[in-house]
């Protein structure tokens, strides 16, 4: 008896509009899913060569979710939901989610801007705040860096958007600024010549742009000079080490003094020299 | 290409034979190079000496050098290979980047005029061993200084700076077996006069030829400036110029030159 009754119920449901619309809604969702896959594949193909990996991924995902969203919405309408109410509910839900995931959303949107702006790419060497590292990945919420001591650092995109970011590997060549102090007695023209010769001798030091020589001023205990040499960015560290060692050797060879800080004591008025008395140890011991 | 046995060869490059345990030594300009053969193993030792005024030292070949372990060169390398054969090919090859040369004084080429200039480029030594052969290493005879060629520090090309000047007469080019001579014809078809302060020669597109007097040449090249910029059409001739009439091909270019290439050929100094 029960079986007959349930069969009757089923037939009733089948004959009603509900089953039909359920079926229709299901078909719409399936079609939507298939179309979304096709759209995402198409995007993948279009952006394969044109854009970088992140742009491609962004468009791929965007197309997928847009198509799926539209079809799910159509399916809901088919099931008899009022589109106005649906949109209203979606609005309230968005606000609720928005409040709850403020940080994530902020990072997400910052991520989109970062991807659009492209201040650096994967493999670049960047500095954010005090952190210097190689970019491992740029994701929607954060970027990942590898510091030189092999630490894995995650930096939220929001920080990157607000902070000053230096990219060291944007251009093929870099400049090394050396701050050099030489004693006041030195002939600066000669010092300049020695520095230039040292730079010329090192093959890693670029001949053009020419090394830069700046007389920075009269310091406390030395004449402050700046000597800037250009180098291909891969050789930055090698040249930084080599050139300073070579400059030191050259200065020693030509007798150019790199002074230590000096202090001159002066007693205030037109003065006699300080009287200096040597006190032998045995007298001190007697006291 | 000549094949050498233990007598002094006519050129420092070519094909040489090394018995097991034998060490051969070359002195090519400022480069000192030693190659030693063991069973399934080749050893290289080399160093570049300081360049002084007497850079003009020619070359030397010594097949009965002391054992490689007694040499104190800066670089020593060991290569393990199963390649059979006792031959080693020591070949000259041009640089893997463009060479920047300056004329002794900046030159002006008026609009519509042509000029011929000679430059000499530094060379690398490519060492290949065995019957196949296997490339072991490329050693610069004299490591040229790096330089940057472009309109700004952001845009341009990494090149090598030549230590010698471009010359208007071939006689002024020092005749050295460890450098290659190129004849460049600069054709100014622009409206304004052209100032040649720095000249970019893309040597990776050039081959090397040897003449009977033991010198190395590249093909002659033509740089045609059509617009009033530093860019020029770059054309590689089939052969070296008439001055190297009996030239024979020694090594092929690193990169195949294109049909119609436009390069940044002339650069003024920038700060």
Sequential DSSP letters for B18-60: --TT-EEEEEETTEEEEEEEETTEEEEEEEEPPP-TTTT--EE
The residue among B264 and A270 whose pLDDT is bigger is B264
Following CA atoms B65, B71, B73, B79 in sequence, which dihedral angle do they give, to the nearest 10 degrees? Answer: 80
- Asked whether the beta carbons of residue B161 and residue A208 sit closer than 8 angstroms, the reply is yes
Partners of A207 on chain B (C-beta within 8 Å) are 100, 145-147, 161
Partners of A239 on chain B (C-beta within 8 Å) are none
**What is the distance in angstroms between the Cα of A202 and the nearest Cα belonging to chain B?**
7
Closest CA to B55 of B161, B168, B182, B178: B178
C-alpha B41/C-alpha A94 separation (Å) is: 71
Question: Would you call B204 helix, strand, or coil by DSSP?
Answer: helix
pTM: 0.74
- Asked whether the beta carbons of residue A206 and residue B149 sit closer than 8 angstroms, the reply is no
Partners of B269 on chain A (C-beta within 8 Å) are 208, 210
**What is the distance in angstroms between the Cα of A61 and the nearest Cα belonging to chain B?**
35
pLDDT of residue B1: 46
- ipTM, two decimals: 0.82
Determine what percent of chain B falls in helix, strand and coil, rounding each to the nearest 5.
5, 50, 45
C-alpha B238/C-alpha B75 separation (Å) is: 38
pLDDT of residue A132: 93
Among A203, A212, A213, A230, most B C-beta atoms within 10 A, so best to mutate, is A203
Q: What is the pLDDT of residues B172-193, one digit of tens each?
A: 887 888 889 999 999 988 888 8
Q: What is the DSSP pairing of strand B221-225 with strand B179-188?
A: parallel
Length of chain B: 271
Q: How confident is residue A13, by pLDDT bands cut at 50, 70 and 90?
A: low
Question: Would you call B260 helix, strand, or coil by DSSP?
Answer: coil
Q: Which residue of B has its CA nearest to A235?
A: B146
Question: How is residue A45 written in tokens?
Answer: 């193909």
Q: Which residue of B has its CA nearest to A203?
A: B145
Please tell me which of the candidates A200, A203, A209 has its beta carbon nearest to residue B153.
A209
Partners of B161 on chain A (C-beta within 8 Å) are 207-208
Partners of A175 on chain B (C-beta within 8 Å) are 153
C-alpha B23/C-alpha B38 separation (Å) is: 10
pLDDT exceeds 50 at position B271: no
Q: Phi then psi for A51, rounded to 5 degrees?
A: -110, 175
C-alpha A92/C-alpha A125 separation (Å) is: 43
Q: Which residue of B has its CA nearest to A171?
A: B154
Please report where in the chains the tokens 């050039």 appear, as a residue: B206
First to last CA, chain A: 126
Question: How is residue B134 written in tokens?
Answer: 């296997």
Question: How is residue B2 written in tokens?
Answer: 């000549």
- Asked whether the beta carbons of residue A209 and residue B161 sit closer than 8 angstroms, the reply is no
- Burial track B146-182 (b if 16+ CB lie within 10 A, e otherwise): bbbbbeebeebbbbbbbbbebbeeeeebeebbbbbbb
Cβ-based neighbours of A8, under 8 Å, separated by 6 or more: none
Average pLDDT, chain A: 84
The DSSP annotation for B125-165 comes to EEEEETTTTEEEEEEESS-PEEEEESSSSSS-EEEEEEEEE
Q: Given its phi and psi angles, is residue B29 left (phi above 0), alpha (psi -120 to 50 degrees) or beta?
A: left
Q: What is the pLDDT of residues A89-124, one digit of tens each?
A: 888 888 888 888 888 888 888 888 887 888 888 888
Q: Which residue of A has its CA nearest to B161?
A: A207
pLDDT of residue B17: 87
- Averaged pLDDT for residues A238-258: 93
User: Does 2.60.40.1220 match the CATH number of domain A119-167?
Assistant: no
Q: How confident is residue B6, by pLDDT bands cut at 50, 70 and 90?
A: low
Average pLDDT, chain B: 84
Q: Structural domain boundaries of chain A? A: 7-100, 119-167, 173-253
- Asked whether the beta carbons of residue A203 and residue B149 sit closer than 8 angstroms, the reply is no
- Asked whether the beta carbons of residue A208 and residue B158 sit closer than 8 angstroms, the reply is no
pLDDT exceeds 90 at position B57: no
pLDDT of residue B10: 79
User: Number of C-alpha atoms within 13 angstroms, CB side, residue A212?
Assistant: 15
Please report where in the chains the tokens 């390069």 appear, as a residue: B263
pLDDT of residue A236: 92
Q: How many CB pairs under 8 A join A and B?
A: 47
Contact between residue A215 and residue A225 where contact means Cβ atoms under 8 Å apart: yes
Contact between residue B178 and residue B127 where contact means Cβ atoms under 8 Å apart: no
Partners of B271 on chain A (C-beta within 8 Å) are 209-210
Q: Which residue of B has its CA nearest to A204?
A: B146
pLDDT of residue A15: 59
Question: How is residue B211 written in tokens?
Answer: 């003449």
Q: What distances in angstroms separate CA A113 from CA A100, A124, A157, B109, one per listed residue? A: 22, 18, 9, 50
Partners of B99 on chain A (C-beta within 8 Å) are none
**What is the distance in angstroms between the Cα of B173 and the nearest Cα belonging to chain A?**
22
- Averaged pLDDT for residues B83-100: 89
- Averaged pLDDT for residues B15-28: 86
Partners of B153 on chain A (C-beta within 8 Å) are 171, 173, 175, 209, 230
pLDDT of residue A10: 58
pLDDT of residue A16: 65
User: Does 3.30.43.10 match the CATH number of domain A7-100?
Assistant: no
pLDDT exceeds 60 at position A14: no
Q: What is the pLDDT of residues A216-230, one digit of tens each?
A: 999 888 999 999 999
- Averaged pLDDT for residues A7-15: 58
- Asked whether the beta carbons of residue B153 and residue A232 sit closer than 8 angstroms, the reply is no
Element (DSSP H or E) covering residue B109: strand B107-109
Q: What is the DSSP pairing of strand B179-188 with strand B216-217?
A: parallel
pLDDT of residue A285: 59
Q: How confident is residue B259, by pLDDT bands cut at 50, 70 and 90?
A: confident
Residue A212 forms beta bridges with which residues? A228
- Asked whether the beta carbons of residue A171 and residue B269 sit closer than 8 angstroms, the reply is no
Q: How confident is residue B7, by pLDDT bands cut at 50, 70 and 90?
A: low
User: Number of C-alpha atoms within 13 angstroms, CB side, residue B148?
Assistant: 27
- Averaged pLDDT for residues A44-54: 70
**What is the distance in angstroms between the Cα of B88 and the nearest Cα belonging to chain A?**
29
The topology (CATH level 3) of A173-253 is Alpha-Beta Plaits (3.30.70)
Q: Structural domain boundaries of chain B? A: 3-92, 93-122+144-267
Interface of chain B toward chain A, CB-CB under 8 angstroms: 100, 143-149, 153-154, 156, 158, 161, 198, 269-271
- Asked whether the beta carbons of residue A172 and residue B156 sit closer than 8 angstroms, the reply is yes
pLDDT exceeds 50 at position B2: no
pLDDT of residue A114: 82
Q: How confident is residue A80, by pLDDT bands cut at 50, 70 and 90?
A: confident
CA-based torsion, B139, B144, B145, B149: positive or negative: negative
């Amino acid at each position: 008896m029960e079986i007959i009754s349930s069969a009757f119920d089923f037939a009733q449901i089948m004959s009603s509009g509900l089953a039909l619309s359920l079926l229709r809604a299901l078909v719409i969702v399936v079609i939507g899913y298939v179309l979304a896959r096709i759209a995402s594949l198409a995007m993948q193909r279009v952006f394969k060569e044109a854009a970088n990996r992140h742009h491609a991924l962004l468009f791929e995902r965007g197309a997928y979710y847009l198509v799926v969203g539209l079809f799910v919405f159509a399916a809901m309408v088919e099931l008899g939901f009022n589109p106005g109410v649906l949109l209203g509910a979606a609005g309230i839900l968005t606000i609720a989610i928005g409040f709850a995931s403020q940080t994530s959303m902020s990072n997400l949107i910052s991520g989109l801007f970062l991807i659009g702006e492209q201040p650096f790419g994967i493999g670049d060497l960047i500095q954010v705040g005090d952190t210097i590292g190689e970019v491992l990945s740029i994701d929607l919420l954060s970027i990942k860096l590898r510091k030189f001591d092999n630490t894995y650092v995650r930096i939220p995109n929001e920080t990157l958007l607000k902070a000053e970011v230096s990219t060291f590997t944007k251009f093929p060549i870099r400049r090394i600024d050396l701050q050099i102090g030489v004693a006041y007695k030195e002939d600066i023209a000669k010092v300049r010549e020695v520095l230039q010769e040292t730079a010329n001798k090192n093959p890693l030091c670029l001949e053009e742009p020419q090394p830069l020589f700046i007389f920075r001023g009269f310091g406390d205990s030395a004449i402050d000079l700046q000597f800037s040499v250009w180098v291909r960015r891969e050789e930055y560290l090698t040249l930084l080490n080599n050139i300073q060692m070579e400059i030191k050797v050259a200065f020693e060879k030509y007798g150019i003094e790199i002074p230590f800080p000096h202090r001159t004591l002066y007693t205030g008025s037109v003065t006699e020299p300080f009287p200096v008395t040597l006190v032998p140890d045995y007298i001190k011991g007697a006291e | 290409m000549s094949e050498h046995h233990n007598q002094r060869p006519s050129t420092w490059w070519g094909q040489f034979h090394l018995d097991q345990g034998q060490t051969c030594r070359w002195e090519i300009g400022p480069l000192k190079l030693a190659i030693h053969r063991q069973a399934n193993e080749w050893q290289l030792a080399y160093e570049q000496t300081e360049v002084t005024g007497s850079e003009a030292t020619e070359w030397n070949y010594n097949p009965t050098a002391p054992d490689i372990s007694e040499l104190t060169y800066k670089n020593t390398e060991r290569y393990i290979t199963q390649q059979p054969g006792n031959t080693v090919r020591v070949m000259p090859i041009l640089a893997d980047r463009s060479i920047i040369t300056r004329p002794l004084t900046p030159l002006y080429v008026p609009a519509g005029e042509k000029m011929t200039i000679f430059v000499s480029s530094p060379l690398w030594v490519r060492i290949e061993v065995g019957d196949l052969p296997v490339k072991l290493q490329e050693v610069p005879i004299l490591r040229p200084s790096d330089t940057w060629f472009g309109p700004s520090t952001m845009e341009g090309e990494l090149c090598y700076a030549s230590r010698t000047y471009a010359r208007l007469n071939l006689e002024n080019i020092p005749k050295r077996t460890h450098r290659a001579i190129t004849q460049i014809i600069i054709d100014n078809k622009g409206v304004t006069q052209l100032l040649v302060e720095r000249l970019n020669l893309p040597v990776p597109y050039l081959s090397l030829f040897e003449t009977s007097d033991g010198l190395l040449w590249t093909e002659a090249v033509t740089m045609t400036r059509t617009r009033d910029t530093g860019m020029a059409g770059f054309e590689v001739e089939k052969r070296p110029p008439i001055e190297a009439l009996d030239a024979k091909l020694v090594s092929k270019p690193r990169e195949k030159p294109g049909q119609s290439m436009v390069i940044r050929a002339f650069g003024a100094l920038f700060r």
